[in-house]
Every structure is written in structure tokens, then in C-alpha cells.
């Protein structure tokens, strides 16, 4: 009896949050009204490529997947651009100098126009990549050495569509440094006492650019492959991120990232993991996410073979690595409706969540 009344209480509480989705329209039609901001998770097989298109039609690509495979990732990004109704990348931000993030930029630049490039600044060598000099030179060639260095606090201002809220990207961390200053409500973060440090990460992951996208009251955090101890700096002693609506699970879901201290501070409503079948998607990360009271849903670009705790199949865009259909997860943020909607292209499954 107790169980039944608890269940009905939970349903009562959850029902207003999970709004029944409207019928799915093709992307072209969804973008025609230009009131929504769209985010596309391109399947780059365990790399990262997150395409954002604003209501004014301005585009930001955060990371560009892998090189090789006959231009596979660049072609998939181009497909996403087509779905979004754009032909140019206005802002190409790469979070760090790892192949699965910036390796795909030269191929993409051969296929589509890219107006501006952003990174965390020049690097002369990288211990973890023996082929770094060649890849870095290929990247320098497409940027003509004119990429813009993002520092903690740097802002990328974006055009505001008529009747649409303000939209911008802010860099919260880069090269292991975090944005300075106390937030207005500057109480120290009580979650911090539970932080257990891990050995310092000397790879470029720790130097990842961390981006907060703000559109009206919608907040989206993309921290690239930022690792454990720098994640702690972002929220301790003060929470410099705030609470967010959408979290791109860090580092493809690796357990060297996704420090519970960060997750419990930013309180995401929805998380999207851009894991591969065998890359990232580690068990501890699923566990930490499942313990978040704020989290309404976890969506995955791939099923992970590294855990038994995958999301239900309808929340997973690609169930098998060898399937080349490269399905996307899409997010549409409609400030007019005070909600955002996540769609799995493979199944058509759609769920909407209220903005905080
Ligand atoms: Zn990565």
C-alpha cells in the first residue's frame, strides 16, 4: 500500500516536468521559424563534434571528430549542417589538441567554409601524441595561424534574433586555469568536502576549453575532455558554473572525468554522452550520473560495452559500432515554451524538459 502511494506521488511530481512531445517535424521546418536553438550530436565514433545553431542562423561547431576513414567525420558533420539548413561554420571551437577533437578540422575545412577558429592557444609539443607535429601543422595551415585564443572569461558574442533572448558562449576554463572571481551568491560550496583528488593529469585533456552556452535562461556545459582535479576547481570553493540544464558528459563518459563534486554542483537536468561503443562510457560515470537527484534523463550517442548500466535503448542513438547509419541526438531549445526537447534520430523518441 505504501509502495503504491509513493509511486503515485512520484508520478504526480514528475508528470508536469516531462511534457508529452509534439509530433516530430523535419529539421528544415523546425528551423524555419527560427525561434529555437538547435544542438546536434554528430556520431564521430567516440570523438566529439557538437553543432550548435542559434535562432539567428549563426553556427558554432565544438570539436570536429577524427581525421581519416575517407573523411567520414567531416561528411557526417556536413550531413548535420544540411539538416540544420546551414552551409558555413561561423565559429569553430576546438577544446584541445587531441586527434578525436581537432583531427577532423582540416578535412572539414576542405569541404565547408569555416569563418573563425578558436582554441586554448599555441602548443609546441605533446608528450602523449608522437604524431603531434604533423597534425598541429595541418591545423595551423587551415587557420593560417590566426586562431583566436580562448581564456577563462573570454566571451563569444552571438547574434540575437528579433524577439529571441540573448545568446552567447563563455569560456569558463582553459589550460588548467578557471574563470576568476566569486559569483554573486558567494557561499562556499558544501559539496566540496567530498572531493577526493586523483593523480594530476599532465595531458592536454586537463587544458580543455570549457564552454558555457547561455540562451535566455538555458545553460549548456561542454567541458571537452576536462579531467577530475580541474573539474573540482570549477566548483570549489565556489561554484563558478552555476546550475545547468544540459550537460555534455565530460570526456565521452570516462571515469578520469565526471568528478561527482562537479556533477552534484551543476545539477544537470539532462546529460548527453558522446561515447563510442568501446571508448568512454565507463561504469563509474554511469553510477555517478544515476545518483544525481536533478537528472531526468541520460541520452547516449552509442551503447557502451564498458558497463551494464546503459540507458534504455530508446535513449541510445547507435546500438552497434559497425552500423554506419550514424544516428544523431538532437536538442531543440524553445524559450517561448520554457522547455527544451531531446530527440533520438534512430527511434524518433522525444522528450521535453522544463527549463530550470
Ligand atoms: Zn576525446
For residue 137, the surrounding DSSP H or E stretch is helix 132-143
Ligand 1 centroid to Cα of residue 296, in Å, is 25
Ligand 1 centroid to Cα of residue 132, in Å, is 15
**pLDDT value of residue 244:** 98
Task: Give ion ligand 1 contacts, CB < 5 A.
Answer: 100, 225
**pLDDT value of residue 109:** 98
pLDDT band for position 324 (cuts 50, 70, 90) = confident
Gap between the Cα atoms of 29 and 309, Å rounded = 36
Percent of the chain with pLDDT over 90: 85
Ligand 1 centroid to Cα of residue 73, in Å, is 14
Give backbone dihedrals phi and psi of 213, rounded to 5 degrees, phi first: -100, 125
Task: Identify the three-state secondary structure at position 110.
Answer: helix
pLDDT band for position 6 (cuts 50, 70, 90) = low
**pLDDT value of residue 101:** 98
Gap between the Cα atoms of 198 and 257, Å rounded = 10
**pLDDT value of residue 187:** 81
Contact 74, 59 (CB under 8 A): no
Ligand 1 centroid to Cα of residue 99, in Å, is 8
Mean pLDDT of the chain: 92
Ligand 1 centroid to Cα of residue 52, in Å, is 18
**pLDDT value of residue 232:** 97
Task: Identify the three-state secondary structure at position 17.
Answer: coil
**pLDDT value of residue 22:** 42
Ligand 1 centroid to Cα of residue 97, in Å, is 9
* Strands, E assignment, 175-309: 177-178, 210-215, 218-222, 246-248, 270-273, 297-302
pLDDT tens sequence across 121-152: 999 999 999 999 999 999 999 999 999 999 99
- More confidently predicted of 234 and 187: 234
Ligand 1 centroid to Cα of residue 352, in Å, is 28
The length of the chain, given as a count of residues: 356
Ligand 1 centroid to Cα of residue 251, in Å, is 5
**Confidence check: pLDDT of 80 > 70:** yes
pLDDT tens sequence across 205-226: 999 999 999 999 999 999 999 9
Contact 142, 220 (CB under 8 A): no
Ligand 1 centroid to Cα of residue 199, in Å, is 19
Mean pLDDT over residues 275-293, rounded? 98
In this structure, what is the dihedral angle of CA atoms 295, 292, 237, 208, given to the nearest 10 degrees?
-60
Neighbours of 85 (CB within 10 A): 17
Beta carbons within 8 Å of 26's beta carbon, 6+ residues apart: none
pTM (two decimals): 0.90
Percent of the chain with pLDDT over 70: 89
Ligand 1 centroid to Cα of residue 49, in Å, is 10
**Confidence check: pLDDT of 23 > 70:** no
Amino acid at each position: 500500500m505504501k509502495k503504491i502511494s509513493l509511486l503515485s506521488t512520484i508520478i504526480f511530481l514528475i508528470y508536469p516536468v516531462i511534457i508529452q512531445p509534439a509530433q516530430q517535424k523535419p529539421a528544415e521546418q523546425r528551423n524555419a521559424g527560427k525561434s529555437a536553438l538547435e544542438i546536434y550530436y554528430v556520431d564521430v565514433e567516440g570523438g566529439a563534434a557538437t553543432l550548435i545553431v542559434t535562432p539567428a542562423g549563426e553556427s558554432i561547431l565544438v570539436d570536429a571528430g577524427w581525421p581519416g576513414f575517407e573523411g567520414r567525420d567531416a561528411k557526417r558533420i556536413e550531413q548535420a549542417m544540411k539538416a540544420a539548413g546551414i552551409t558555413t561554420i561561423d565559429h569553430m571551437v576546438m577544446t584541445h589538441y587531441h586527434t578525436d577533437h581537432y583531427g577532423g578540422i582540416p578535412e572539414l575545412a576542405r569541404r565547408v567554409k569555416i569563418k573563425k577558429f578558436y582554441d586554448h592557444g599555441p602548443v609546441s609539443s605533446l608528450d602523449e601524441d608522437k604524431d603531434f607535429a604533423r597534425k598541429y601543422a595541418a591545423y595551423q595551415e587551415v587557420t593560417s595561424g590566426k586562431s583566436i585564443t580562448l581564456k577563462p572569461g573570454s566571451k563569444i558574442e552571438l547574434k540575437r534574433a528579433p524577439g529571441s533572448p540573448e545568446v552567447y558562449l563563455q569560456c569558463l576554463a582553459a589550460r588548467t586555469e578557471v574563470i576568476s572571481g566569486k559569483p554573486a551568491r558567494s557561499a562556499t560550496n558544501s559539496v566540496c568536502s567530498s572531493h577526493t583528488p586523483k593523480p594530476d593529469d599532465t595531458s592536454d585533456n586537463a587544458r580543455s576549453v570549457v564552454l558555457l552556452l547561455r540562451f535566455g535562461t538555458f545553460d549548456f556545459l561542454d567541458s571537452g575532455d576536462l579531467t577530475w582535479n580541474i573539474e573540482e576547481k570549477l566548483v570549489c570553493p565556489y561554484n563558478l558554473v552555476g546550475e545547468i540544464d544540459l550537460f555534455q558528459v565530460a570526456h565521452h563518459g570516462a571515469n578520469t572525468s565526471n568528478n561527482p563534486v562537479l556533477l552534484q554542483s551543476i545539477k544537470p537536468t539532462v546529460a548527453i554522452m558522446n561515447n563510442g561503443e568501446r571508448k568512454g562510457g565507463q561504469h563509474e560515470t554511469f553510477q555517478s550520473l544515476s545518483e544525481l537527484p536533478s537528472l531526468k534523463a541520460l541520452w547516449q550517442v552509442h551503447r557502451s560495452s564498458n558497463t551494464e548500466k546503459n540507458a534504455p535503448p530508446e535513449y541510445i542513438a547507435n546500438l552497434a559500432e559497425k552500423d554506419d547509419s550514424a544516428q544523431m541526438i538532437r536538442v531543440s531549445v524553445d524559450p517561448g515554451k520554457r522547455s527544451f526537447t531531446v530527440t533520438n534520430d534512430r527511434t524518433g523518441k522525444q522528450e521535453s524538459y522544463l527549463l530550470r
